[in-house]
Amino acid sequence: MRIIPAIDIIDGKLVRLTQGDFSQETVYSDNPLEVAKSFEDAGLEFLHLVDLDGARAGKVVNLAILESICKETSLKVDFGGGVKTSDELKKVLEAGASQVTGGSIAVKNPEEFGSWLEQFGPEKIILGCDVKNGKVAVSGWLEESELSVFELIEQFPGIKYIICTDVSQDGTLAGSNTKLYQKITEKYPEISLIASGGVGGLSDLEDLVPTGVEGVVLGKAIYEGRISIPELASFSNKFGVA
């Protein structure tokens, strides 16, 4: 199980939202690069970087931060937020991202998202399935679609990576939706599922191990001091993958 710390960006700062609510924003650092370096220094290998400005604007906004992190660290970065076109996707990959997450685009323009899978390959593309009230949420979680997570997955039979966030759990530190993740991994064993949202401590990470998820994203638990970076690195050494 990959351990993937998250850095969410608004106005160039590292922030966290609660349940996807932009009015419930907490700023944790003015220097996302230094935070990324601290993850690398502890021995962590992966980073989930979200351009929340981009998610709201419908276009990539914080490309420079991605570039600086990829240039000055060896972290394998997956990037999401505002990527809507093949040209933007190319720019994100050229900036150093290892993978790119598409959520809103997969719902609103599935043909475009499907072309990404064909053009760039399933190793580079992550399907973002953000679940709110049982339906997939889009546009920075500001809108709800009519699709369930399973209906969205079924539209892309070639998908290899999925990141699934239960919006109701995100930022609450109240634990992950393990039942949902278990259902997804049982129904689609060939897919590498990345869990996101709700991790509040090491016990929540341990609860995710038997669900079969390939990775887990967490952020607020780190920034609120619920899990130290050394503890996270130790857990990664025990349960993580190279």
Span 187-238, pLDDT tens digits = 999 999 999 988 999 999 999 999 999 999 999 999 999 999 999 988 888 8
Which residues form the catalytic set? 8, 130
What global pTM score does this model have? 0.91
pLDDT in tens, 49-94: 999 999 888 899 999 999 999 999 999 999 998 899 999 999 999 9
pLDDT in tens, 142-183: 567 778 999 999 999 999 999 998 887 766 788 889 999 999
Mean pLDDT, rounded, for 32-37: 97
d(CA 223, CA 83): 26
Write down the CATH number for the domain with range 2-239: 3.20.20.70
Return the domain boundaries, the chain.
Answer: 2-239
Give the per-residue pLDDT at 41: 95
